[in-house]
Every structure is written in C-alpha cells, then in structure tokens.
Amino acid sequence: MQTRGEPFIEIDGERIDARDVEALYGIDEFGSMYRAAEELGRSYARIQQRVTELEETLGPLVARQRGGKGGGGSTLTDGARDLLARFERLRAEFSGLARAEESVFSGTLVDRDGLLGTVETPAGTVRAIVADAEPGGERDEAAKSDSGGTDRANATVQIGVRSDAVGLTTPEAAPEPTGTSIRNRFEGTVESIESEDGVARVTVDVGVDAPLRTLLTETSRETLDLSPGDPVVASFKATAARGVLAPERDVADASEE
C-alpha cells in the first residue's frame, strides 16, 4: 500500500479519497463517465465500478441517461456535489495544516529531453523538470535561445521536491519499477516522525546529505506502522521534482579558482 499526504473522508467505513473526487469532477466536467475516464487516462470499467461501490454506501452520486435523441450522458446528483464541497473544505483545512516543506539535493545532469532531465545523485537517478537559471531562479531565456535549449551535460542541478508529493510504501509492498516509468523510486530508512493535528511529517534517509521530507496523514502512518529505523520506499513523479541548473558563469568561475 502506498500512502501520501492527501486527505480523505471516511463515511460508514467507506473511504473517499482524491482519486474518487477526481473521477466525480471528471464526470461533471465531461458529462460522461466514459469521457471522464478517457480524459483522465483511467479505466472506464474501474471508474464505473468505483462509483457503484460508493453509491452502495452514500446513495446516488451519478444520474445516468441512456442514449437517444439527447445523446445520453451522466450528471452529478446533489449528494455528489455535497460530497465534493465537503472534500474541498477538508482539503483546504489539510493544506493549511500541512505546511508542505521542500527537500533540496544536488546532482549532475546526464541527459535532457526538452524540459525533462535525467540527473545522477548520491541517492540514484532522478527524473525531473529541469530549467536553466539565472541568480534568483529566473529562467535564462536568452541562453536557451542562443544555445537552442542547451543540455549542459555534467552541469550541477539543484532538485527540489515538495513533501506532499512524496509517497511511501513498505519494501514488500513496493511495485517493481518499469522501463517506461517516470516515477522516481528510492529505498531508504525512516529517520524521524513528527505528528501534529492528524498530519505526520516523516523524514527518510535516502543517501543524500539532507533527508527526504514526506508528508502523510496520521492514519496513513499508522496503516504503514512506521517507526524510526524502519525501511521504506519513497517515490515521486518526475513532474513533481523541479531541478534548476547552476548558471554557466558560476561553473566557469569555479573552474578558474
């Protein structure tokens, strides 16, 4: 089981999380369960099954209209809209409590495909969105234009990852990485746990100078039964990792010293 810093609602033993809410928003936006699945890149059968499961506990959530002159489609019931409003209130409250921090560590750029870069770090290979930078963190558009988006191989990269974007699993439950995956995955050890107002801040030693900071609900931490010293697998999407290249002139200056 993978857990991350996301809120959820539990009603009569049924847990409603961000993926359930995403599906309902998709149905509302596209007017069709099939279209929602297509646009979200998810399985239509799984969304349909999940809506049915939720309705068994919560009552009608989606009003389905068969095809015909109007073309059919699906709309949300008032109960579904009330559920979404309740979840958004919880999400806002959770965000305020979370105070998501950012882990920052250094690596070397070894490859780049557009904005997506491959960076070697002491913890392993990281895939991240990498931007050229000038002091102050602004993108160096002039340098990008002059160089055609230079890859700057072997340049130093500072990578930042928000704690609420990192998921944790136990080693035995961690899925095997695939060749096409752009999810970063690191084995590590729980360094510390701080719990406050239902939110657990967990730091994980993954072999870099600073620990990787993660954010979980306290319920998720209890489900994983985490304690300092426990082995874990931390993962985060490439799009959740932001890398900034050190300015070229700084690299040149350093080589002259």
What confidence tens digit (pLDDT) does each residue in 145-202 have? Answer: 333 344 566 788 889 998 888 889 888 877 666 544 457 889 999 999 998 777 888 9
Phi, psi of 151 (to 5 degrees): -75, -25
CA-nearest of 180, 218, 191 to 94 is 218
Q: Is 172 exposed, middle or buried (0-12, 13-18, 19+ CB in 10 A)?
A: exposed
Reported as a single tens digit per residue, the pLDDT across 32-55 is 999 999 999 999 999 999 999 999
Does domain 102-250 fall into CATH 2.40.50.100? yes
The single residue listed with the structure tokens 């961000």 is 18
Q: pTM score, two decimals?
A: 0.53
CATH code of 9-98, in short, is: 1.10.10.10
Intervals of CATH 2.40.50.100 along the chain: 102-250
Cite the residue boundaries of each domain of the chain with CATH code 1.10.10.10: 9-98
